[in-house]
A = this chain, B = another copy of it.
Amino acid sequence: MSLLLDNQFKELPPDKSVDTKLFLDTVSHIPAFFDCLGSTVFSVIKSDINGNITKIRGVYMKDPAKYVTLQDILVAEREAHAAEWPKVGATLALMWLKRGLRFIQILLQSLADGDRDENNPNLIQVNVTKAYQEALKKYHGWFVQRIFQAALHAAPYRSNFLKALSKGEEVKEEDCLANVRQFLVNYTATIDAIYDMYTDLNAELDYTV
């Protein structure tokens, strides 16, 4: 089901630059993650994220030799679209994509850390809410926040979610969480590097949708 854990991110080089092609190839497996949330309506989120990836890939493909790293893209777009930047092109797409990736990261980390509601140990609302608050909430107006509250009720059970992460195989919970922890190492480092890049280039925006 989820190919998430099968497609590990690569270790970053010492300068923390993110190789565009490697990033795109690995991140394109992420949207399938939303299938393991169960309901087909999560396809809305899947297609938002897919749209971000398509936008970034479109820019990259125009000149792969020029856009070797993600930073190359942001810097080139800053020059080309001075007036609108950073609310433009792949810079905007990656700005949102990284938030979705951060949401997934925090959700998985929270599960791996064993955060849970002791009264409802098989629910993941507490983990999903934590991820939402840290990664997305401040970029959502009251309306989308309300949609999130409604969507939260459709979150899968913890056991089903972990099973889906293991492609539906009966894996021991501890083994699945060990895989998650392994996955998180380079995944988290990559996302952190992208966030740092947005800070360094002063490319982050905080408007709400």
11 contacts between A and B (CB under 8 A): A40-B209, A41-B143, A41-B144, A41-B147, A41-B209, A44-B44, A47-B47, A143-B150, A146-B153, A147-B147, A147-B150
A154 within 8 Å of B by Cβ?
yes
A183 CA to B22 CA, complexed, in Å: 53
A149 within 8 Å of B by Cβ?
yes
A199 within 8 Å of B by Cβ?
no
Taking a contact as CB atoms closer than 8 A, the residue among B39, B47, B146 that contacts A150 in the complex is B146
Could you tell me how many residues of chain A have their Cβ less than 8 Å away from some Cβ of chain B? 15
Chain A interface residues (CB < 8 Å from chain B): 39-41, 44, 47, 143-144, 146-147, 149-151, 153-154, 209
Chain B residues whose C-beta falls within 8 Å of the C-beta of A44 in the assembled complex: 44
Check A149/B150 contact, CB under 8 A, given A40-B209, A41-B209: yes
Chain B residues whose C-beta falls within 8 Å of the C-beta of A149 in the assembled complex: 150
Residue of B nearest to A39 (CB): B143
A109 CA to B39 CA, complexed, in Å: 33
Once the chains bind, are B150 and A154 in contact (CB under 8 Å)? Answer: no
Chain B residues whose C-beta falls within 8 Å of the C-beta of A147 in the assembled complex: 41, 147, 150-151
